[in-house]
Copies of this chain bind each other. A is one copy, B any other.
Amino acid sequence: MIQLLILGLLLKYPNTHGYELMKIMDQRHYKYIVQYTKGSLYYNLQKMNEKGFLSGTLDSNDPEITYFSVTPKGEQLFSELMDKYGNISEYVNLSFYTPMLFNELIPEEHYHSYINSQISQIESKIVNLNHALEDVNTLDPKFRLMLENSREHHKVNLKWFKSLLY
């Protein structure tokens, strides 16, 4: 997924270096829709450069800075990954389902502490998403739709976990 994100961003903004990409991703709150770290971004830029999906140009003043662009081979990969992730549809599963299957094997207060932990984590996720959604200036309308979809899912879960307490 990070590879598709890198290719898409570099197609939109050719000749960009890693730090700038990271800044774009952070400013646009991409952490809410794709899992990435600074390490995975730099690692993948490096790998994709070695494999010929990207071409890198060193900064003439600072050899530690590389400007990346997408090669024709990278454009091909972009199309393939768009097709792949555009058509993937998974069952929605929570990590919590499996512990729930076996709750009778553990003390009831442990199980309740899991549920309470889930509820408070979901509540803070909804707060974070609301906060990101207020950031009208940097949000493109499509991204707003994604955050709203994500928030709907968390609301479904919040209601569901609360119902498990009774």
List the interface of chain A (C-beta within 8 A of B): 1, 4-5, 8, 11-12, 32-35, 78-79, 81-83, 85-103, 105-106, 110-111, 114, 117-118, 121-122, 125, 142-143, 145-146, 149-150, 152-154, 156-157, 160, 163-164
Which of B117, B154, B163 interacts with A86 by CB under 8 Å?
Answer: B117
Q: A82-B106, A106-B79 are in contact. Are A33 and B97 (CB under 8 A)?
A: yes
> Which chain B residue has the least Cβ–Cβ distance from A102?
B8
Instruction: Return chain B residues, CB-CB under 8 Å to A4.
Output: 98-99, 102
19 contacts between A and B (CB under 8 A): A8-B102, A8-B105, A11-B105, A32-B93, A33-B97, A82-B106, A82-B110, A83-B110, A85-B96, A86-B114, A89-B95, A89-B96, A89-B117, A90-B95, A92-B92, A92-B150, A94-B149, A100-B142, A152-B160
The interface residues of chain A, by DSSP majority, are classed as: helix
Among the interface residues A8, A32, A78, which one has the most CB atoms of the partner chain B within 10 A?
A: A8
Given A11-B105, A152-B160, are A146 and B86 neighbors across the interface (CB < 8 Å)?
A: no
Question: Whose C-beta in chain B lies nearest to the C-beta of A143?
Answer: B101
A163 to B92, CA, bound (A): 20
In the bound complex, do residue B164 and residue A157 qualify as a contact, i.e. CB atoms below 8 Å apart?
no
A85 near B103: Cβ-Cβ < 8 Å = no
- Closest B residue to A115 by beta carbon equals B86
